[in-house]
Amino acid sequence: MKVRFQTAQNAMVEAEATSGDILLTVAQGAGMPLEGTCEGQMACSTCHVIVDRDWFAVLPDASEDEEDMLDLAYGVRATSRLACQIVLSEALDGLTVAIPSEARDMSEN
Ligand code: FES
């Protein structure tokens, strides 16, 4: 399966993934600048990504803890998620997320 990352520079990067992979790990493997400081403990928000609108509805809902952490993320949007909480499955083949940038206003899309 594949997932796609839209970089802050508006490039589309495709990465190969396997069902069961964590999106954060795949993103880091593809060279995306997501720090993931707390390594999935939901104690940071440095793995924040903005999920493509069509895909957002397909993902399982965020937990309350994830929502709380997202409140602290910079540049959060209606379809923001923490990449460390997204477990990939075949149903998510083609999942597309954008990497937020402090320098870029995503609302321009
Ligand atoms: S890696 Fe810290 S919340 Fe995702």
pLDDT digits (tens, 9 = 90+) for 65-100: 999 999 999 889 999 999 999 999 999 999 999 999
Supply φ then ψ for residue 8, to 5 degrees.
Answer: -65, -20
pTM of the shown model: 0.91
The span from the CA of 36 to the CA of 28, in Å, is 9
- CATH code, domain carrying 52: 3.10.20.30
| Residue 108 domain flag | no
Please give the residue range of the domain that contains residue 62.
Answer: 2-101
The band of 104, judged by pLDDT with boundaries at 50, 70 and 90, is very low
The band of 63, judged by pLDDT with boundaries at 50, 70 and 90, is very high
Tally of structural domains, the chain? 1
pLDDT score, position 102: 60
Distances, alpha carbon 96 to alpha carbons 30, 37, 42, 49, 58, in Å? 13, 22, 22, 10, 11
| Residue 109 domain flag | no
| Residue 74 domain flag | yes
Q: Which residue's C-alpha comes closest to atom 3 of ligand 1? A: 42
Tell me the best of 22, 26, 34, 38 to mutate to test the pocket of ligand 1, counting ligand atoms within 8 Å of each CB and taking the most. 38
| Residue 71 domain flag | yes
| Residue 91 domain flag | yes
The span from the CA of 81 to the CA of 97, in Å, is 9
Mean pLDDT score of the chain: 92
Eight-class DSSP state of 28: H
Contact predicate 12/103, CB 8 Å:
no
Residues 6+ apart with CB under 8 A from 72: 45
- Enumerate the β-bridge partners of residue 22: 87
Q: Above 90 in pLDDT, residue 3? A: yes
| Residue 34 domain flag | yes
| Residue 30 domain flag | yes
Task: Report the nearest atom of ligand 1 relative to the CA of 84.
Answer: 4
| Residue 107 domain flag | no
